[in-house]
Amino acid sequence: MRTGCLVAPLLALAASVCTAQDDYPVHVYPCAKAVAAPRLDGVLDDACWKNAPLVSGFTFYDEPTLAPVQTSFRAVYDQQRLYFGVVCDEPLAQELAPLRTARDDGQVFHHEALEFFLDPAHDHELYYQFAVSAAGGLYDSRVKDASWNSGARAKVRIGDTEWSLELAIPWADLEVSPRPGTVLGFNVCRDREVGGPRQWTNWSQTKANFHDPMRFAHLVLSPTAEQLGQLGEEFRKGHRTGPLRIYGPGGFSETPYRALAQQALADLDALLAQLEEARRQERDAAAARELGKRIEAYRPQVAQYRAQIEGKRGIDAATWVRMELALRQLTNTLRGAVWDARLAALLSRI
């Protein structure tokens, strides 16, 4: 193996880290399979909703500020459809005046509405939009082509202090065969008009507007903790650099964070092995010695993280964020170790 062949991809990877454009949180929603599909009536009282993670924390797009009037949702699936159940808090519910619109009428976006975005191939390019007004009006499009129509169905209920919605989207319309471990990009957004001024909020933070598939959240069908741990790179496609947040029925889920940490440690071990091989293949004796010194200097740090990951203490969301940042910084440093060693060896001769 030639050292140059090893160093080039490492440098390319290191360079890609520098192209991140934001540090917005990266949301991961493990989506459970429903034993029985929900009855679409706009009321989230079906058994399938009880074990689905309930998430909230909507912010204004391109602004990390929590909305004063919040939205929460759950998601489940079966072999035929993907289902969303959403509750919109609304202290001004008595002032709502839902206006039913025709199918795909753009007026749906000028009233109380919820918008759903799905990137079924997780390629950040082809995505689908579904919008449902508080009157039950439906808009659907393929990217922004509203001539595309689906078999989606939705039901809305308006209460005294909230309005809620249940939405069913056929997998066939998304060209998806639902299998455990499948990853889809998605986002849930809200258009709030009552009370003025207009408020546009989203669960996964976007820039400019909601049509931002690079910054969608990630929905994973029936994942195991091990699968989630192996999907770290998939969740960060597009060079996402923000804190990774994985949710469970009780909020943040501890087990996937440990799996992610174990995978990060395995990747770090593999990188150290590659650097050791690069040291053996290095033709410049001085550079080889310098690289060896750097490898040995970093081994205690790796051992420290190994002890923390393999210890008995739990790894929650906050612990994982701190650990992930430290591991990524160490990984990036090691990726530049070959050239650093060569530079040090060259300078020592001057």
Instruction: Report residue 316's pLDDT band, with 50, 70 and 90 as the boundaries.
Output: low
Residue listed under structure tokens 């998430």: 55
Q: By percentage, how much of the chain surpasses pLDDT 90?
A: 50
Residue 298 one-letter amino acid: Y
CATH 2.60.40.1190 occupies which residues in the chain?
52-223
Q: Where are the beta strands (DSSP E) in 103-152?
A: 113-119, 128-133, 138-142
Say if domain 52-223 classifies as CATH 3.30.2320.50.
no
Instruction: Report residue 22's pLDDT band, with 50, 70 and 90 as the boundaries.
Output: confident
Task: List the single range of 34-43, 102-111, 130-139, 173-182 with lowest mean pLDDT.
Answer: 102-111
DSSP 212-249: -GGG-EEEEES--HHHHHHTHHHHTTTT--SPEEEEET
Q: Is the separation of the CB atoms in 223 and 179 below 8 Å?
A: no
pLDDT tens figures, 81-137: 999 999 999 999 999 988 888 899 988 998 899 999 999 999 999 999 999 999 999
Is the per-residue pLDDT at 2 higher than 80? no
Whole-number pLDDT of residue 341: 78
Structure letter (DSSP) for residue 160: S
Q: Is the separation of the CB atoms in 29 and 247 below 8 Å?
A: yes
Whole-number pLDDT of residue 1: 30
Contacts of residue 235, Cβ cutoff 8 Å, sequence gap at least 6: 26, 28, 183, 218, 244
**Full-model pTM:** 0.74
Higher pLDDT, 21 or 113: 113
Q: By percentage, how much of the chain surpasses pLDDT 70?
A: 88
pLDDT tens figures, 215-271: 999 999 999 888 988 998 999 999 898 888 888 865 545 566 677 778 888 888 888
